[in-house]
Amino acid sequence: MYSARGTYRPAPPRSRAAFIDRDGNLIHEVGYISNLKRVKFYSRSIKAIKLLKDGGYKVIVVTNQSGVARGYFTESFVKKTHLHINCLLKKYGLKIDGFYYCPHHRTKAVLKRYLKDCDCRKPKTGMIKAAAKKFNIDIKKSVVIGDKLTDVHLGKNAGTKTALVLTGYGKEEKALISKAYDRPDFIGRDFYAAAKWFAALNKRKKP
């Protein structure tokens, strides 16, 4: 990379990230969350985040929240939920680096501003692209972890590794795997299992 003066400056190293699904992966799947009391981490989620952070990964939540479009809760509630999650993580000295959510729905929105065939609803890659730009992320060396085939498809569309977890809707979704596009690189019992797999995978690749 050359600056305006023509002196050579090496490009800053790019980060690797775990793009993680929220409901059914990080926290319990309870339908649409509309009360902060329903925010509960899976038992090994804290450990999973710690492992990823210790490995130098950015941890970024990517979540479809069409409940906003459907009028079940507001966008400000989604933001509040994310602040709450980081507040809970703080006592472990941890935090999620970024929260990305899609509030839209293509057909089911009761509020017109959310009625949109957007680029951010998973499996479309808008959220990953925005995060990759902001955090200078090397997408190929990153992973998507989630409990739905939508998460697997998101990773395939973006060009990351993919992991399906069996919490949340994971077991039902695993049964729906039928073609190569559905097949994750890893299937594990939960977020921690996926984090461990991903961290080990990268270690093996180092020269």
Asked whether 176 and 149 are in contact (CB, 8 A), the reply is yes
104 is an interface residue for Zn ion by CB under 5 A:
yes
**21 vs 97, beta carbon nearer Mg ion:** 21
- Minimum gap (Å) between residue 104 Cβ and Zn ion: 4
Q: Which does 23 bind (CB under 5 to 8 A by kind): Mg ion, Zn ion, none?
A: Mg ion
Instruction: Choose the catalytic residue: 21, 97, 147, 185.
Output: 21
Binding residues for Mg ion restricted to 13-72, rule: CB under 5 A: 21, 23-24
Secondary structure of residue 6 in the 3-state scheme:
coil
Report in angstroms the alpha-carbon separations of 82 from 9, 19, 63: 37, 15, 11
Pair of tokens at residue 93: 């000295």
User: Omega before 103 cis (within 30°)?
Assistant: no
In the complex, the smallest distance separating the C-beta of residue 102 from Zn ion, rounded to whole angstroms, is 3
Q: Has 119 been annotated as catalytic?
A: no
Alpha carbon 98 to chain centroid distance? 9
Known catalytic residue: 151?
no
**Which token pair is 28?**
């319990």
Binding site for Mg ion (CB under 5 A): 21, 23-24, 147
Which residues here bind Zn ion, judged by CB under 5 A?
Answer: 102, 104, 118, 120-121
Instruction: Just list the catalytic residues.
Output: 21, 23
